[in-house]
Chain A
Amino acid sequence: MMGDQFRKVEQYSPKSSPRGARSPVVSRQDSSGTLKTTILLGKNPSIVPSGPFYLMKEPPAESELTGATNLMAYYGLEHSYSKFSGKKLKEQLSSFLPTLPGVIDSPGQQDNSSLRSVIEKPPIGGKELLPLTSIQLDGFRLHPGALPEQYRYANATPIKKHKNKHKKHKHKEGGLPNQETTVTDAGSDTHEKKHKKQKRHDEDKERKKRKKEKKRKKQKHSPEHSGGLTPSQHSNS
C-alpha cells in the first residue's frame, strides 16, 4: 500500500523545474559585483541593483542637539540646578508660601480645597462679576458675638515649631488666646498629675512608717510603747 502511494507521488512530481533553478522574475546577473539593491514599490514595482552592499540605507540626518550634549548647560538651567540640588528644600507647602494664612500643609482632599478638584469639577464661570447691591449686602448683616469655637480656630495661622518652643518658656508674653488656654490647661493637668503622684508617694511613706512601728511594737512587747501612737495613727490603722 505505502509503496503504491510513493509511486503515485513520484509520477506527478516534476523531476526538474521548468525554468531551471533560477527565480522567474529577477535576473541574477551580478557581473559587476554590486549587491546593493533598491526596491521600488508602487504601480510598477522593480528591484534595481545600486551598490555593493545589502540593506544599506541613507544614514539618518544628524540633529544638532542630542542627548550627548549637556542639555542643562544648553538651556541655561545650571543655575536652577545648583539652586535646587545644593540646599535641602523644606518639605512643607507653608515654607514655599510663608505669607499665606491658615493651615495649608494638610492634604487638600480633607477639606475639598484640592487644585485637582478644580480641574476635575470646574466651577461655574463665564458670568459677569457685579458688585453687591445694598439689598444684597443686607443678607450679610450679622449678629454680634463670637463664633463657635470650631469655626473660630479652624483657620488660625499655624505657629511654627520653634515659636512654640519659645512660648514654652515665655508663654505669658503673648500669642493667641486659644493657645494660651491650651498651654495653661496642659500646665494645670500636669500639675494635677504631679500632685497625685506626690500624694501617692506620701501615702506610701506613711504606710511604711506604720509597718515599721508595728514591727517595733511586736519586738518590744512592752505596754509603754502601746500608748506611744497618736490618735490619728490609731484611726488610720
Chain B
Amino acid sequence: MASSLENLETQLEMFIENVRQIHIIVSDFQPQSQNVLNQKLLALVHGLQEVDKLKSQVQEVHVPLEVFDYIDQGRNPQLYTKDCIEKALAKNEQVKGKIDAYRKFKANMLLELSKTFPNELSKYRAIRGDE
C-alpha cells in the first residue's frame, strides 16, 4: 500500500512539475518553443494516463472528508490529525474516568449492601461469583 501511494505521489509531482514548465513556456512564448510545448502537452496526457492506471491500487485508501475542509481553507492537513489525536485522547481519558468511577461505586455499593443485607448479598455473591 505504501509503495502504491508513493508511486501516486511521484506521478502527481511529475505531473505538477510538467504543468509548471508549460506555464513558464506559455508565459513568454517564443516561436522556437512550439515543439517543446507540444512534447509537454503529450507528456501531460501521458501523466494523466499514469495517474489513471494507479487508481486501482489506491481503492482501499479512505480519506476522511473533514481533511478536505482543512486543505480547502489553505490549512495544514496535519492539524486535522493533531486535532483527532487530541480529541481521541481526551475521550479516552473521560471514558476511563467513568469506568473507574463506576468500579468504585460498585465496590462501595457491595460493601454497604453487605453491611445492611448480609444474607441477600451472600446469595448474590453465590450467583455472581467473585465479582
Residues of A within 8 A of B (CB): 51-53, 56, 59, 66-72, 77, 80-81, 84-85, 89-96, 99-101, 104-109, 114-116, 119, 129-132, 137, 140-147, 151-152, 155
Contacts and interface: CB of A to CB of B under 8 A. Distances in A.
Q: Which of A66, A81, A129, A147 has the most CB of B within 10 A?
A: A129
Contacts of A71: 88, 92
Contacts of B99: 66-68
13 contacts: A53-B124, A66-B99, A71-B92, A93-B77, A94-B74, A95-B76, A106-B74, A107-B73, A130-B45, A140-B37, A141-B34, A142-B37, A146-B27
B29 A107 contact: no
Contacts of A52: 120, 123-124, 127
A81 B86 CA distance: 8
Q: Which 8 A-B pairs have the closest CB atoms?
A: A67-B95, A108-B72, A105-B74, A84-B82, A115-B68, A114-B72, A68-B99, A146-B28
A127 B16 CA distance: 22
A84 B74 contact: no
A101 B20 contact: yes
B111 interface: no
Interface residues of B, number: 52
A77 B76 CA distance: 20
Nearest to B47: A129
A129 B52 CA distance: 9
B61 interface: no
B69 interface: yes
B78 A142 contact: no
B45 A93 contact: no
A91 B127 CA distance: 59
B89 A147 contact: no
Contacts of A116: 65, 68-69, 72
Contacts of B49: 129
Nearest to B63: A115
A78 to B, nearest CB: 10
A179 to B, nearest CB: 15
Contact of B29 (A70, A72, A115, A142): A142
A69 B88 CA distance: 13
Contacts of B34: 141-142
A230 B75 CA distance: 70
Given A70-B92, A91-B76, A131-B45, 20 more contacts: A52-B127, A53-B120, A67-B94, A67-B95, A67-B99, A85-B85, A89-B76, A92-B74, A93-B75, A101-B20, A105-B74, A107-B73, A114-B72, A115-B68, A115-B72, A129-B52, A137-B38, A142-B26, A144-B31, A155-B23
A60 B74 CA distance: 47
Given A107-B73, A108-B72, A145 B92 contact: no
A77 B51 CA distance: 31
B3 interface: no
A91 B85 contact: no
B71 A85 contact: no
B78 A96 contact: yes
Given A109-B72, A115-B68, A140-B37, A85 B82 contact: yes
A154 B49 CA distance: 28
Given A108-B74, A129-B48, A152-B27, A72 B88 contact: yes
Interface string B2-44: 0000000000010010001001001111110010011001100
